Structure 1
Amino acid sequence: MKHLWDVHFLLLILLYLLGAVTSQVNPGVCRYPLGMSGGQIQDEDISASSQWSESTAARYGRLDFEEGDGAWCPEITVEPDSLKEFLQIDLRSLHFITLVGTQGRHAGGIGNEFSQMYKIKYSRDGSRWISWRNRQGKQVIEGNRNAYDIVLKDLEPPVIARFVRFMPVTDHSMNVCMRVELYGCEWLDGLVSYNAPAGEQMSSPDYPAYFNDSVYDGAVIHSMTEGLGQLTDGVCGLDDFTHSHVYNVWPGYDYVGWTNESFPSAYVEIMFEFDRIRNFTTMKVHCNNMYAQHIKGFRQVVCHFRSEADWEATPLAFSPVEDEKNPSARFITVNLANHMASAIKCQFYFADAWMLFSEITFQSDTAMYNTTLAPPKTGLPPNIQPEDDPTHKIDDSNTRILIGCLVAIILILVVIIVIILWRQVWQKMLEKASRRMLDDELTASLSIQSETFAYNHNQSSTIIEQESNSTYERIFPLGPDYQEPSRIICKLPEFAQSSEEPASTSTAASKSTTTTVIQDGAPHYAEADIVNLQGVTGSNTYAIPALAMDLLSGKDVAVEEFPRKLLTFKEKLGEGQFGEVHLCEAGGMQEFMNKEFLFDIPEDQPVLVAVKMLRSDADKNARNDFLKEIKIMSRLKDPNIIRLLAVCIYSDPLCMITEYMENGDLNQFLSRHEPEGQLALLSNAPTVSFNNLCYMAAQIASGMKYLSSLNFVHRDLATRNCLVGKNYTIKIADFGMSRNLYSGDYYRIQGRAVLPIRWMSWESILLGKFTTASDVWAFGVTLWEILNFCKEQPYSQLTDEQVIENTGEFFRDQKRQIYLPQPVLCPDSLYKIMLSCWRRNTKERPSFQEIHRALLEMQP
């Protein structure tokens, strides 16, 4: 983890030294912890109004830390309507803050203090403090309901600040304690305020629109002064100004706008103040262009620059090209020609009756100073105010020298990064010299054991959580009501050694503790027995609560030892950290099977099987997990679930032999076929009828009905994990993740496993909850694949990041989420089943029993 931090840190330096960095802030991406929980914020930068004792001082107010007495606690009881107590954080520089997290004091069960509500104040200079308000003007933020859960709240609008104060609020006298974290990213624009005329109202009988800057945090009378607002909130207005990104607001909300009737001079003047002298390269202005409504971007902009006390005599003028063909809103980029300034005053000339702006951003390099000189005053508190010495611009000769130095530094940093990465690789090679390298990045990523997917036996939504200390692990958009589920302490139960297993390969699992996450509603810390194991291909993780230990108890199911010499290798299906999956032919398999399993193959012909093989250099834990997986798989008996046929465990490498189907996986099978019709006749392609599509979907629902009856959660249901046999027989498997063929179906998150996000429910992506209801969601996507003959990836028009952002819309449920479209072959009744699988409320989704029954009713 330290190496990852080193690489992240060096990359940040590299980006900073590259000069004109992008300053366009995306609130959906700018969501990284700023250092309370990770320790990057130093103790001296955390202060408070008071403290109960030295062990509850401000420095202990770090989210998810239990040092001291477990939190910051003020000296006295907090009274209603009293805002005297606060916990203050100094970020040392301006940051764009999009999310805050709070937690109470638990202290291992001896504490029970938390803040049910709180307010936030922030400051950019340490002297002027601003009370945060949401877009509806509300200041109070709902806090914690207990002492241990972490509650994350989106700041809508986000704030730009260096100093932030958390101020507990109560409706009655009570003791409160707080642990906090801030999420966001550095504010690279350096803009500390803009002054502009107040936005105006457009009178229209159809839609009266209000173009005021509704979140401006400065003074607003006839003009706006000494503040920031919607022009810097990272949200670009829509093409049609009558609609907004924000739900349930007035027309024109996204824009700040003016009419030329109010400005005899024919221009609007906006002045921008920055934290220090900067070398400006460009200014980007996001403008509406609904020219049919007499709205256009500016005809010309004239910018004046102030680097020291006086404004430069010669302004810069820029005239963009007018566009009366495309009414879409767009950014207009103004070249600022590397002017040095700490303030810019721009006059935007009207091109039509109205001018509407939603975002103005700047790209710049921070001005460089002599060692004997200091930057100008920035309005910071006296104790950290730089000296008031003059500055000098960098001339052209110095610029060339500077560029050469920066290039040299960049090359040195690149070399350091390569050395760090190579050292990590070399260490792994030394530790496991006998293990051959994996084929590509995807299979290498499967070595991450924390969050992988397969049949997961699960009561409620118990999952194994990956602990990550990465400072740059992003918190994705969660909405205002996100609650992190309670953490519980769990034990790994001992695994009873089977009398039928040879002593050389049987090992009892040791006791260990594992942090898990359980579904909302758990009233306190609890303790439960959990079996957790990693599949040989990196694709299986079983979590089995003690309440369902019947699967691992009682008389063992006999699994025959199969002679290795009767296995003939055909093809490698997949590969993971601990082993491989091979397609093989097994000769004489019929002799080794019990009577309840029948093959539709003559006894003298080999049977097509999948062989999971554990690498001979696998460690003790991997071998134990492999044996547990055999024991669990031996108890899965359903016509639509892949069966365990036999094992090879008397010698290395350990193998389990499962069914395989002659037609391969459903994704490849359907992609080679066409729907019945004239087009298929012309192309002479093989076809599949609609009735057979429904028949295959019903079999998948039947298999999932069986798994859900055992409280197993698959977590990777998709056509790639369904195998096809004769007469459209379907059996559910789990090989998909380990196959290079499907690497594009998985999204890799830094420090975590690869995730099939296009099949995952919103609560699985955002909250880490995996239940039968999330499998139902994935079934809806799988059904969509089937009706499209697997010709298209789900949400193919969206990038992976947009898919994740779309899950945030499902969570907020403000009617802006994007659903998969109705396939051409799909009747309304079947599309209604899909939509029911994608309902926002998990309790409103149908069960697999209901889905199976509905699909059977559709068949003739």
Structure 2
Amino acid sequence: MSMLYIVSITGCSYLSACLGVCRYPLGMSGGQIQDEDISASSQWSESTAARYGRLDFEEGDGAWCPERMVEPDSLKEFLQVDLRSLHFITLVGTQGRHAGGIGNEFAQMYKIKYSRDGSRWISWRNRQGNQVIEGNRNAYDIMLKDLEPPIIARFVRFMPVSDHSMNVCMRVELYGCEWLDGLVSYNAPAGEQMSLEGQPVHFNDSVYDGAVIHSMTEGLGQLTDGMCGLDDFTHSHVYNVWPGYDYVGWTNESFPNGYVEIMFEFDRTRNFTTMKVHCNNMFMQHIKAFRQVVCYFRSEADWEATPLSFSPVVDDVNPSARFITVSLANHMASAMKCHFYFADAWMMFSEITFQSGKCLHTHKRSPPNHRLILSSNRMVSSPIPSPGDDPTHKIDDSNTRILIGCLVAIIFILVAIIVIILWRQVWQKMLEKVRDPACSHTFYLIHKARPIVYYHVILLIYLQLFSPVPALTSTVVAVTASKAPTATFAQDGVPHYAEADVVSLQGVTGGNTYAVPALTMDLLSGKDVAVEEFPRKLLTFKEKLGEGQFGEVHLCEAEGMQEFMDEDFSFDISDNQPVLVAVKMLRADANKNARNDFLKEIKIMARLKDPNIIRLLAVCICSDPLCMITEYMENGDLNQFLSRHEAEGQLALISNAPTVSYSNLCYMATQIASGMRYLSSLNFVHRDLATRNCLVGKNYTIKIADFGMSRNLYSGDYYRIQGRAVLPIRWMSWESILLGKFTTASDVWAFGVTLWETLTFCNEQPYSQLTDEQVIENTGEFFRDQKRQVYLPQPVLCPDSVYKIMLNCWRRNTKERPSFQDIHRALLESQA
């Protein structure tokens, strides 16, 4: 049966609801939440009605105040907020009634109840089972409290609690982000208990908010709490909890059919693209990811007769926990029932997320066993099935083991051959062939090895053995290097950073650091830029934005910052107001190299003075911890900003969502190009240009930043090697991935991807239909240049002239890519 549909992608990457960053105020203080969406059980008077319960507002009599005093053990009074849609809520703020000194009422304690449908209310409990939240100690200070675990709700009630009779008043704010998965409940068997070295290990879903008897029904819990379990399940992200806490697990002894059934209910009929399941794989303890999953879909009242089947490759080599991406082949459904088959004695999940689109109209769907293949300028339907798309496809385990054995043997044979060649001292001729880009036969043979994991292993061995060649400096090899950065030159004479410098891609604080060729750095070394020392006591912590190996990034308010700035820089606020800033802070345990890198970063940042580049404002380096203070824009990063908006048009009118016009999208993209034009004029290479690294201010002002990598929200955008998120491969050029070359030309490639993100409103990750390994494989197609490479499709809003700019940014030959000056000029002309 065929159906016509139009979709608006609202899914996100697998950590879309990250606890560390999903902390945006939802509109009590900002006014986005309307008065009619705020209600209460009662009120003192009209001037203390629910609509006055907004954090940091002094309207009316200064707060919401219930009619009666709050009595011990009484939960009759509440302030209720309707968010109009499901939200992922991670933090709450409360405040009492000050009213310019005439009020002194506040809630010392409170509880929270929430609901997803307005009928079933759930009492929030922390991870230790406590319901009471510590409130305020005076009438004017704001008290922020993390919700651990976070909640997924549309309706939230604040219920003041007291151990004695007292008058209370409250002002509140909710922090979080929209719940894009659309999942309202999952039903699953209750988690079980393992005996490990004589000690019980519990894998129950301890924060599940539905009914739990022999099974879990009509609720959400640890599988949607944004917390991925560690590789070793006996450890936990959360303190004061038991081993195994982060996982929900089952043993096959309890399931004679060999599978665990989990049913997922969604808020509406959706068009499903993928399901990502985070699984433990400690096979030494007889724990493995699922062997096969079979999913049934329900769009109306009945379940579809034909299920979808997917079988991942069973991994007996790497014990790391991992996300397994299941292609759902654009099935339309409001409910899904999946059978996860055991691959060993135990199966353990910590997160399950979905990428889907909202179904608004009906249209013909592509025939079964067809998948969408991206071509250079359009999306086409191809009858070539892949294992992830064919519902009848299953992997023969015995054949897989034979294939793995053969591939391992091939690896050892290749290593032996290479050693013999080196021993006979003829390897120099091989290197000369490798330097020739036209010599792609060896890589083609490597590419023919399947699965992609073994392609990557062979590539890794190959590049490690031939690492003396500057043009074959691999980022795969680079992440294990520890030498000081050195500049090398490719055949085209463009300076780029060699393997050791790729290590610093993540930076001291977890953010990207600009790559500066050694020649440029030498020119800077003789110049000193005065950066004022800022008093630490004038910094007020707001929230932690992210962290890296040796440092952290904090959002702070700085008082009196205007007095420390150059004459050529001014803030768009009055002198007596605090300024929102980002503070990069070096940890006390940082080693000497990290300290030197941090000071080097200050030196680089001090040189950057452009309207579209985040500015270094001041430093705190007279004492530890070392800090650098940079601008921060009030609207956050461009990725999150666009994700909260929609294109102008009929769809936006239906959903009542905030909109951004096409002209404003182009205006923002033009500013990014302008900022990159400035960086390239200094011979600086950004190396991590993406919407997550662009901040948004008033009137769509854009400034390029560098700490997106430090934020857990975007950990899914980085390819993990040895447990570290280091390579943004979906934004990287083929030569950056395969050859380790980071140049202005590779930044141009990343700009093309950033422009694509902007015009798609960041509704999906680039190459979302490809796994990380397939993205790497696609770069091999660019290297071979046999016209089989996959390009990102033309966005709906994108005119041909702008898509041509993107395609030019993705040219194989770096010399054929446009400069940022050319891009900036072309974008200006497209708006004329």
TM-score normalised over the length of structure 2 = 0.49
TM-score normalised over the length of structure 1 = 0.48
